[in-house]
Structure 1
């Protein structure tokens, strides 16, 4: 599903008019009519029936005026608190005239009610709310009544999800045309409540060419590899996991288990020879390949030739989980990524072993968390987190490799597209979760998907598995193994989950 930035939706609105004759008044009418349906259904959930609509001076206020009319003719007790501005659009003026002719009450003071509608500010704001608008936002929040925001909670940045000052804490948000990034990423999601989409009859062709996307269950499920009746393990893909060091064999174990659970036909584990017995005790199905190690029991540069021999028989490599930052191991990793042309998932210590220039244009997916990405790029975690979408987009443009930036609402970038993953929860903030993800992604690559496709499907299923586990166990008790155990359920339920409710 396409996601639009504020500048893009303005251009789409212009093209709707110039190319199709769909005037702003039509879009405003469609937005208000669709919003009425959500408001009426919400009124059934509250004890009273009085609605107050706070209408700002722009076209978001115009949407609110359309809502007021539709509610009024539906028999709802509705009042409008109006904030006037200098240059109101003709569409807003037209709908205000209708409201006045219908004698819908326009009130001068803020009144309590059973449900508020927030139509104060739209997607174009760039500075903190002030004056009467700020007062109205704070009034609604203080009353703790249900609040339905039109298009976006007032005060929230549509592009970054950052509150620009006083911001409406909505119960539900009805966004128009397409979702905006700020509604989907942290911290914006904390202000949105339940999100609905009204397409307001904008032709889909106008969204073609946009480069930001939201992963949905319907779209993601189509990526699942299909199996023929005569498949054998060779058809299902082979993975080589290069991982493990003293105290970190668990990372290798989780990676291998996840690879099998995601459908790989065969998983090889290349691990320091001195640690191979530990791995053998934990992994029944995995083919263990003991490799030369250093005195510190990490992988040695002399493991290069054995790894190359194994790699001749696999479809994909994972390099990095629990592998350590030992200088000799880093030397091995640099050599491997320089000389191996197979798809590689580079994770954890593997990312810390190379520079961005050393992976530029290669057949590699990196899967950092924010701190790892910051170190990799020579910046700060704050700089990464304040514009996750922008950072990922710049990286794929500059270095021409896919990236998966972990965190709440994982961001994936490949080719020229960026994807927001809606699945996952704080219970997944536990050791080994990322190792499971790497194994899942590698398994999908080995089964024929591209690195970017595998990152999208892997992230979606990884988070969905965590969500299903949370439903059963709660957030506090989740461990990485749960993400593997609940993966079959996630695969079965993939198509039915996280499909935005459209009206």
Structure 2
């Protein structure tokens, strides 16, 4: 059985369907996505392995998922630190950032220095809408994540990877292979090139949506918002 995946175009259309015919708001989807991400981190990196989680946040929806995940991780007992160099003027992202500031979660300007005192990295820089060139200040961040011995979990896509083809053949990100990938809603085509631990988080997807976009909704257990899957998409 092959892992069923989505193209970037299909993933964008699916999100529009969730917000249109599915009646979800962007706030709801981001909250559910961030909750799923936080559960994946909790699963692969329990607090006994270290509380210090460095969250690398990009300027778009992927970054928003990271901000939400950081809030949940704080409430679980972790000590997140946020690297958010390109803050958005969008009210939603401003509110998410304020929620973290109200919890006294630190925001840092130097990713490299913060990395040296972290136990786990959450890569929430670029998601499935990424294309083109990696712009400053993120080339050095992606390079640092590719070189570190600290475990890295990527949100929906390893940052800099082509959504259809996976890691770049050369340059920034060509050697970036995170330890964990959490695919939101459904895996994207790049997941076929990923060899680490793979989770799916999308417990809000209806059977009709899954049928329309031809992917499988995994069997979530209990209160879990995530399911770990193998290379063929089967539950582990």
Secondary structure at the aligned position of 1:54 is classed as strand
- Match of residue 207 from structure 2: 204
Secondary structure at the aligned position of 2:28 is classed as helix
Aligned counterparts of 1:143 and 1:155: Cα–Cα separation in 2? 16
Aligned counterparts of 1:145 and 1:46: Cα–Cα separation in 2? 15
Matched, 1:9 2:14: no
Matched, 1:21 2:23: yes
Aligned counterparts of 1:35 and 1:147: Cα–Cα separation in 2? 12
Secondary structure at the aligned position of 2:159 is classed as coil
Secondary structure at the aligned position of 1:116 is classed as strand
Secondary structure at the aligned position of 1:148 is classed as strand
Aligned counterparts of 1:159 and 1:70: Cα–Cα separation in 2? 30
1:88/1:163 Cα in 2 relative to 1: closer, same or farther (>3 Å)? farther
- Report how far residue 210 of structure 1 moved: 3.1
1:104/1:47 Cα in 2 relative to 1: closer, same or farther (>3 Å)? same
Q: Deviations over 1:56-105 (max 9, x none)?
A: 111111000001100111221110011215x5544323212211222211
1:41/1:210 Cα in 2 relative to 1: closer, same or farther (>3 Å)? closer
* Structure 1: gaps of 5 or more residues: 217-420, 424-497
Matched, 1:80 2:89: no
* Structure 2: gaps of 5 or more residues: 219-229
Preserved contact between residue 55 and residue 82 of structure 1 (Cα < 8 Å) = yes
1:177/1:66 Cα in 2 relative to 1: closer, same or farther (>3 Å)? same
- What TM-score, normalized to structure 1? 0.40
- Match of residue 400 from structure 1: none
Preserved contact between residue 52 and residue 78 of structure 2 (Cα < 8 Å) = yes
Secondary structure at the aligned position of 1:20 is classed as coil
Aligned counterparts of 2:194 and 2:70: Cα–Cα separation in 1? 26
Query: RCO higher in 1 or 2 (8 Å CA, sep ≥ 6)?
Result: 2
Matched, 1:61 2:63: yes
Secondary structure at the aligned position of 1:33 is classed as helix
Preserved contact between residue 176 and residue 200 of structure 1 (Cα < 8 Å) = no
Q: Deviations over 1:145-182 (max 9, x none)?
A: 10000111101111122427422321000010111111
Preserved contact between residue 47 and residue 77 of structure 2 (Cα < 8 Å) = no
Secondary structure at the aligned position of 2:30 is classed as helix
Aligned counterparts of 2:85 and 2:19: Cα–Cα separation in 1? 27
Matched, 1:115 2:120: yes
- Match of residue 174 from structure 1: 182
119, 130, 133: which one aligns with 1:128: 133
- Match of residue 44 from structure 1: 46
Query: Pairwise mapping of residues 102-251 of structure 1 onto structure 2 (< 5 A)?
Result: 102-110=103-111, 111=114, 112=116, 113-163=118-168, 165-167=171-173, 168-184=176-192, 188-190=193-195, 193-210=196-213
- RMSD across aligned C-alpha pairs, in angstroms? 2.4
Preserved contact between residue 175 and residue 196 of structure 1 (Cα < 8 Å) = yes
Matched, 1:99 2:82: no
Secondary structure at the aligned position of 1:79 is classed as strand
Secondary structure at the aligned position of 2:212 is classed as coil
Q: Deviations over 1:283-341 (max 9, x none)?
A: xxxxxxxxxxxxxxxxxxxxxxxxxxxxxxxxxxxxxxxxxxxxxxxxxxxxxxxxxxx
- What TM-score, normalized to structure 2? 0.82
Question: Normalized per residue, which structure has more helix?
Answer: 1
Q: Deviations over 1:395-449 (max 9, x none)?
A: xxxxxxxxxxxxxxxxxxxxxxxxxx956xxxxxxxxxxxxxxxxxxxxxxxxxx
Query: Pairwise mapping of residues 296-335 of structure 1 onto structure 2 (< 5 A)?
Result: none
Q: State which structure, 1 or 2, has the greater radius of gyration over its C-alpha atoms.
A: 1
Aligned counterparts of 1:74 and 1:95: Cα–Cα separation in 2? 17
Aligned counterparts of 2:75 and 2:154: Cα–Cα separation in 1? 21
Aligned counterparts of 1:181 and 1:90: Cα–Cα separation in 2? 31
- Report how far residue 6 of structure 1 moved: 0.9
